[in-house]
Amino acid sequence: MRFAGKLAGGIAVAALVASAALAQETAAPAQSVRANPEEALQGGPARVKLPPPSETPKRETVADVFGQTVSEPVVQGAETMAPLVQNWTVGQAARLIAVIEGIGAEGLDPKDYDLEPLKVALASGPSKELNELASQSFVWLVEDLRDGRTPMEAREQWFVIDPDRDLFPAGTVMAEALASNDIAGALMKLNPTHPDYARLKAELAATSDGQTARRKLIRANMDRWRWLQRDLGTQYLITNVPEFQLRLTVKDKIIRTYRTIVGKPGRTATPQLAEMVEGVVFNPTWTVPQSIVKGEGLGARVLANPAWGKRNGYVATKGANGYITVVQQPGPGNSLGRMKLEMPNEHAIFFHDTPSRHLFANDFRALSHGCVRTERALELAMTMAILGKGATKEEAVAIADSGKYKKVMLEKHFPAYITYFTMATDINGEMATFKDIYGRDTKVLASLDKPRVRERTYVPTDEVIVIEDDLRDS
């Protein structure tokens, strides 16, 4: 069967989006509203995901350096950082106090930053104590504005490696703040650049103190933006799991949106990741997990009835040791559908098509075993292939139409963010709340009522659950 006619609409959109992105070099102002595919897009340089550290990095704490002189640097790994205790004038400390007093606007709590001891030290004039207390409060502000206040143990199934600690070391930010005398400006530069953070901040300002639950929800979701890297890049994919939507975003404009099907609550819930799309697989094969091959007897059935297996696209192989492997061949009934995005990660999570497209009509779409099934997936695949210069429009058409397995590697990799926001701007540009389908708000909201965690880790603590998505109708 040939699919050229069915692909025409998707190919036209993909070609239009991709050709505009590749042809234009003029920057467009950031917006949070949906953009038409006809608008000129600008491609950006490929961004490289930082590998996880081989060991837990040295934690930045002022307590570690209280015994050092102001000129003594802090060494973290092989890199020399600016010191975490520096000299503060009375005027600079007063400006820091003003920042702390107003930090509620960022969804943080002034009580977390030793405000009263700092005021007492300031009243006594310049001193070693003032330097230490002001430096300590400033570092804590950097940590929370840059990395998020929520401790790692409250971030369920969160596995994002955030490079901001390396890009904005606390000592360096402090040195720049003191050199410029712009304490507030240096700290506010750490805020996430995505427009949704500013919208949530405005929503917080417009919410009365009496609306306690709503204010906490806004603060929690502001903090979730800090868990990600400050700047998400020029071109990227981002999906908000509770919204069941995927966005192709360029310069913070939504170019296309796609409904999604995500993991069922429980062990198959979709984790939060930041990965790189390195390629597109057209007409994929599917290696059936052993939970089905052995656990459900599929391997034995295919071997016993090859004709049935062929009708369903299954090919079974039995090794000398008795181990049975079953691979479903490309075709309209393949469980991965017509494409998947090559996105290597230890969780085996990726975006892919599905033959069960009727499920996209459901309002509640937490139905998979973890992977993200994507509406109009072939359109998305072609767009990625063309934008990443892995194929021309004509080549993409021919590959998709062939019905044969083909992996197209991309010259330009695309960041892909799998996020979990229960309050955010929806695909229509309106601020909305979404059902907490995995119950992940509970620990985050509870952490807001507890003292700030000072002895913190930056390494994800949750169990890595390797997904074996059975991909069949639920």
Determine how β-strand 253-263 pairs with β-strand 372-374.
antiparallel
Beta pairing class for 372-374 and 351-352: parallel
Beta bridge partners of residue 259, listed in sequence order: 245
Q: Specify whether the CB–CB gap between 137 and 114 falls below 8 A.
A: yes
pLDDT of residue 229: 97
Task: Please state, in angstroms and rounded to a whole number, the distance separating the CA atoms of residues 350 and 333.
Answer: 19
Collapsed DSSP state (helix, strand, coil) of residue 155: coil
Cβ 335 vs Cβ 328: under 8 Å:
yes
Q: Contact 315/309 with Cβ under 8 angstroms?
A: yes
Under 8 Å between Cβ of 400 and 380:
no
Dist. CA 5–CA 77, nearest whole Å? 57
How many Cβ atoms sit within 10 Å of the Cβ of residue 305? 12
Q: How many CA atoms lie within 13 A of 156 on its CB side?
A: 20
Q: How far apart are CA 300 and CA 149, in angstroms?
A: 52
The dihedrals phi and psi of 181, each to the nearest 5 degrees, come to 65, 10
> In tens digits, what is the pLDDT along the chain, a chain of 474 residues?
444 445 555 555 555 555 544 444 334 433 333 333 333 233 333 333 333 433 333 433 333 333 333 334 443 433 346 899 999 999 999 999 999 999 999 999 999 999 999 999 999 999 999 999 999 999 999 999 999 999 999 999 999 999 999 999 999 999 999 999 999 999 999 999 999 999 999 999 999 999 999 999 999 999 999 999 999 999 999 999 999 999 999 988 999 999 999 999 998 999 999 999 999 999 999 998 888 898 889 999 999 999 999 999 999 999 999 999 999 999 888 999 999 999 999 999 999 999 999 999 999 999 998 999 999 999 999 999 999 999 999 999 999 999 999 999 999 999 999 999 999 999 999 999 999 999 999 999 999 999 999 988 888 888 888 765 444 443
Domain 4-47+233-285+330-419 sits in CATH 2.40.440.10: yes
pLDDT of residue 467: 66
**Parallel, antiparallel, or unpaired: how do β-strands 253-263 and 366-368 relate?**
parallel
- φ, ψ for residue 183, nearest 5 deg: -65, -45
For residues 301, 307, 312 and 314, what is the CA-based torsion angle, rounded to 10 degrees?
A: 60
pTM of the model: 0.84
Separation of alpha carbons 163 and 168, rounded Å:
9
Which pLDDT score, from 0 to 100, does residue 384 have? 96
Terminal-to-terminal C-alpha distance of the chain: 27
The pair of three-digit structure tokens given for residue 423, joined into one six-digit string: 């309050």
Task: Find out whether 117 and 136 touch, Cβ atoms under 8 Å.
Answer: no
List the domain boundaries for the chain: 4-47+233-285+330-419, 62-228
Q: In which element (H, E) is residue 173 found?
A: helix 170-180
213: tokens are 């639950």
Q: Is 105 exposed, middle or buried (0-12, 13-18, 19+ CB in 10 A)?
A: exposed
CB contact at 8 A, 224 and 238? no
d(CA 33, CA 337): 31
| Torsional sign, CA 461, 228, 58, 456 | negative
Token pair belonging to 191: 């805020």
Distance separating alpha carbons of residues 375 and 10, to the nearest angstrom = 11
pLDDT of residue 239: 98
Query: What's the rounded Cα separation, in Å, for the pair 432 and 240?
Result: 12
The whole-angstrom separation of Cα 253 and Cα 251 is 5
Distance CA 140, CA 374 (A): 40
CA distance 60 to 57: 9
Position 23 scores a pLDDT of 43
Measured between alpha carbons, how far is 14 from 81 in angstroms, rounded to an integer? 45
